Amino acid sequence: MIKQNIIDALNNQVEAEAGASQLYLAMASWADSRGLEGISEFLFAHSDEERMHMLKLIRFINERGGKAIIPSLHMPKQDFQNLNEIFTMLLDHEVKVSEMINEIVDLTLSEKDYTTHNFLQWYVSEQIEEERLARIILDKLKLIGDDKGGMYLFDRDISTFNPAK
């Protein structure tokens, strides 16, 4: 059976993943309302991905004999200045999530819970990809600057971004 302190840490991660899903959903809605179809679809998909991360944690907690807690969520930010703000926030959030995952990994090692440690390795790898993708997008936005043609192409092509590359 999984120890309560690890259950608590995993449940905090459930809340973080749910919050990320909501934040990215708000970002997607903002982009969609501005005619940025490619960017909004990218962010809608990213929101779905974060929800799947949450569900994976919930199932793991319950399978190990714990009780996953479904959190209530605060309303995320709704208005953004521009895409640089959105993707900077996205990167900052992913870095924070990476730090949280690393703290849980450290806890599993100190508690000698190698099953949960092994499970979390997928999240460690996933976070590397998430951070990398956000940095790539921010680099592309810097290159584009105020070029409307560049933004049009970026919006069109963002759906082809593959974090696994």
Query: What pLDDT does 82 receive?
Result: 95
Residue 154, CB-side half-sphere exposure with 13 Å CA sphere: 22
Cβ 6 vs Cβ 110: under 8 Å: no
Domains of the chain: 4-160 (1.20.1260.10)
Say if residue 53 carries a ligand binding annotation: yes
Query: What pLDDT does 163 receive?
Result: 47
Q: Tokens 């810097």: give the residue.
A: 142
Query: What pLDDT does 165 receive?
Result: 40
Say if residue 93 carries a ligand binding annotation: no
Query: What pLDDT does 161 receive?
Result: 74
What share of the chain in percent tops pLDDT 70?
Answer: 98
Query: What pLDDT does 162 receive?
Result: 54
Write the DSSP assignment of 16-52 as a string of letters.
Answer: HHHHHHHHHHHHHHHHHTTT-HHHHHHHHHHHHHHHH
In this structure, the chain runs to a length of 165
Query: What pLDDT does 6 receive?
Result: 98
Query: What's the whole-number mean pLDDT along residues 59-80?
Result: 96
159 pLDDT band, cuts 50/70/90, is: confident
Q: Summarize pLDDT for 79-120 with one digit per residue, the tens.
A: 999 999 999 999 999 999 999 999 999 999 999 999 999 999
The two structure tokens encoding residue 94: 């992913």
Say if residue 129 carries a ligand binding annotation: no
Say if residue 81 carries a ligand binding annotation: no
Query: What's the whole-number mean pLDDT along residues 117-126?
Result: 97
**Residue 139 pLDDT > 60:** yes
Nearest to 20 by CA among 110, 142, 106, 130: 130
Buried b / exposed e along 133-157 (16+ C-beta atoms within 10 A)? bbeebbebbeebeeeeeebeebbee
Say if residue 50 carries a ligand binding annotation: yes
Strand ranges in 6-134 using DSSP code E only, listed in sequence order: none
Query: What's the whole-number mean pLDDT along residues 65-74?
Result: 95
State the Cα–Cα distance between residues 34 and 122, nearest whole angstrom: 35
**Residue 164 pLDDT > 80:** no
In Å, what is the CA distance from 144 to each residue of 137, 138, 148? Answer: 11, 10, 8
| Amino acid at residue number 115 | T
